[in-house]
């Protein structure tokens, strides 16, 4: 692999961050709200992000960083090498369930995803890959999922979009075998990589999808914003990713709404 040294380093950082999270999971958390009572951030989110940023700055001081917390949540471009971090994806699950949350790291070069890592902390499962080198679950290379149609599989869904039928999300859910709502983009993208789900529709920020895009690209999945345009990487937007067959069917429903 062309980025072998960086891959080894990132895996070590993820393991160290996850160990810290697991040790502190049962301690009293400092929980605060961002945009509202269901949009949470904890001291562990911030401490995990700070740990990862320090590692990047130490080893790759000329690189730039886009991350969810503490003033790192915007960049004017993706020029050069950019690290995109979600220190805890699924913070509500982290706080309320103590499971179903992930650490996500992506490395992009001039806007093109090179490395992606989604680490399910409580399952100790790392899904990772490098551009043009496949996707792995820990050390096992994952097989190519089936290009299933919408009617043949489950689809991950944002609960509010489904309930309000935003962009025909409710209709799409009914056309599938059923919807699943995990509250964590990383968990949903893992389900696509494993072939358990045929797609995912939600409202996401760049750090929610950056790592996953590197990985689903390896399997030839289709993705875009809900209108079929490239993702902006600079704001929250409606997001769709799916097998090519299911993606085409869903886009037809959006168009004809």
Distances (CA, A) of 99 to 47, 123, 130, 145: 18, 8, 26, 26
The answer to whether 95 touches 40, Cβ cutoff 8 Å, is: yes
The whole domain housing 68 covers 4-141
**What CATH number did the domain enclosing 198 receive?**
3.40.190.80
24 pLDDT tier (thresholds 50, 70, 90): confident
User: Do both 102 and 185 map to the same domain?
Assistant: no
> Of the candidates 91, 115, 141, which is a domain's last residue?
141
CA distance 218 to 130: 8
pLDDT in tens, 108-151: 999 999 999 999 999 999 999 999 999 999 999 999 999 999 99
Task: Count CA within 13 A, CB hemisphere, residue 223.
Answer: 26
Please tell me the least confidently modeled range out of 25-29, 178-182, 219-223, 236-240.
25-29
pLDDT at 229 over 90: yes
Query: Three-class SS of residue 139?
Result: coil
For residues 35 and 30, the model is more confident at 30
pTM summary value: 0.94
| One domain for residues 103 and 214 | no
For 111, phi and psi rounded to 5 degrees?
85, 0
Residue 30's pLDDT is what? 75
Q: Is 52 a residue whose pLDDT tops 90? A: yes
Of 141, 159, 182, the domain-final residue? 141
Report the pLDDT averaged over residues 6-17: 97
Summarize the annotated binding site as residue ranges: 68, 86, 88-89, 208
* Domain match, 121 and 166 both: no
- 243 and 159 fall within a common domain: yes
Q: Do 97 and 70 have their domain in common? A: yes
How would you label 208-244 residue by residue, b for 16+ Cβ within 10 Å and e otherwise? bbbbbbbbbbbbebbbbebeeeebebeeebbbbbbbe
Could you tell me if 89 and 101 are in contact, meaning their C-beta atoms sit under 8 angstroms apart? Answer: yes
Q: Which residues are annotated as a binding site for Mg(2+)?
A: 68, 86, 88-89, 208
Average pLDDT of 76-83?
94
Structural domains of the chain, count: 2
Residues 157 and 109 in one domain: no
At residue 33 the predicted structure's pLDDT band, cuts being 50, 70 and 90, is low
């Amino acid at each position: 692999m062309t980025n072998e040294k960086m891959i080894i380093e990132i895996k070590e950082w993820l393991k160290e961050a996850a160990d810290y999270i697991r040790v502190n999971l049962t301690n009293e958390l400092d929980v605060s709200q961002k945009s509202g009572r269901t949009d949470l951030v904890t001291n562990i989110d911030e401490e995990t992000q700070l740990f990862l940023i320090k590692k990047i700055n130490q080893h790759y001081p000329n690189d730039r960083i886009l991350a969810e917390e503490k003033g790192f949540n915007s960049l004017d471009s993706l020029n050069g090498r950019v690290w995109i971090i979600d220190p805890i994806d699924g913070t509500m699950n982290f706080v309320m369930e103590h499971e179903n949350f992930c650490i996500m790291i992506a490395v992009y070069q001039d806007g093109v995803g090179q490395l992606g890592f989604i680490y399910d902390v409580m399952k100790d499962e790392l899904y990772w890959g490098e551009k043009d080198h496949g996707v792995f679950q820990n050390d096992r290379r994952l097989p190519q999922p089936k290009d299933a149609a919408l009617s043949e599989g489950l689809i991950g869904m944002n609960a509010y979009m489904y309930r309000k039928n935003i962009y025909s999300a409710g209709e799409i859910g009914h056309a599938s075998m059923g919807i699943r709502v995990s509250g964590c983009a990383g968990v949903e993208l893992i389900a696509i990589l494993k072939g358990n789900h045929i797609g995912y529709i939600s409202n996401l920020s760049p750090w929610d999808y950056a790592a996953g895009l590197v990985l689903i690209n390896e399997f030839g999945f289709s993705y875009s914003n809900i209108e079929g345009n490239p993702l902006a990487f600079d704001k929250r937007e409606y997001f769709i990713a799916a097998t090519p067959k299911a993606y085409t069917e869903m886009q037809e429903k959006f168009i004809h709404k």
